[in-house]
Structure 1
């Protein structure tokens, strides 16, 4: 069975116990997380997700990004089936992402577009900014618009992120 932060009974009935309600009240999770947990429980009846652990979900326009741990252990075909099953249960496009380092998450969110570089700049005030460079020719392959991608990476990582599209001529210089 997939590991979720809520009690299975609470997720199925949508009547939360004190522990589950406190997770939502604290702002750590939302009702979206309860809905996604329910969908994961339904999918786990068909697929073996015993190693998988739910982390968090994020909404971007009509796309739902679901962060999971240990999802890389699932074979590629089963992984695609997982996204398909979750999409049909939830009723919108789903992208499942392995929770890991910021760079790993960025690479998965940008996929199938190619990534040029990910770099960190230290600013004079002591903060950092992560700069993600993507070749402009890859724009049509990006699953999320660059400005939305920037917002979602910032939300997931808690860091300031800037997504830049780089033209071919700028690469040769």
Structure 2
């Protein structure tokens, strides 16, 4: 499944529904660009949930079974994506948002996760990582926070504790 409908990905023109998702920041221009490329690679047979630009690289979040298809034979698809967006790209897969969080943080250990409900009705996700595992993180805390925030559609606080 792609962040935009297959017709939009195929025609490279957004319908009213996909345009609304873009205007409401449910999807980004990066999601649209990568979705169009993915459709060309697989004719809608595989997709991704979200693409997150974390500054010096982009992370594509997808289902585990689609990782190889996104990368392509010999890394061909991934190279085309990187050339098109001008950044290194990592593809990460999991079957659920929770599993994706653990994948991003592993091999470091998560001590706790909680949801904090604010007075204004918004929810903040708090993730505490074992402070002794800080050197095991595959990326910096800012990048992890940005990816998890995009994935969960919520504010995220990551603490070493």
What TM-score comes out, normalization by structure 1 length?
0.65
Equivalent residues in 2 for 1:61-140 (5 A)? 61-68=55-62, 71-74=63-66, 78=68, 81-82=71-72, 84-91=75-82, 92-98=87-93, 100-111=95-106, 113-120=107-114, 122=116, 129-136=125-132, 138-139=134-135
Q: 1:121 to 1:131 in 2, by over 3 A?
A: same
The residue that corresponds to 1:37 in the other structure is: 35
Runs of 4+ in 1 over 6 A off after TM superposition: none
Quote how far apart the aligned CAs of 1:42 are. Answer: 3.3
Task: Give structure 2 stretches of 5+ with no counterpart.
Answer: none
Q: Helix, strand or coil: the match of 2:30? A: helix
Task: State the SS of the aligned residue for 1:104.
Answer: helix
Residues 86/108 of structure 1: CA separation in 2 closer, same or farther (3 Å cut): farther
1:137 deviation in Å? 5.0
Is this contact kept in 2: 1:132–1:161, CA < 8 A? no
Q: Which residue of 2 aligns with 1:170?
A: none
Query: Distance in 1 between the 2:24 and 2:48 partners?
Result: 18
Residue in 2 that maps onto 1:145: 140
Matches of 1:101 and 1:90, distance apart in 2: 24
Larger CA Rg, structure 1 vs 2:
1
Q: Which moved more, 1:79-88 or 1:93-102?
A: 79-88
CA distance in 2, matches of 1:128, 1:9: 35
User: What TM-score, normalized by structure 2, do the two folds share?
Assistant: 0.68
- Report the equivalent of 2:159: 164
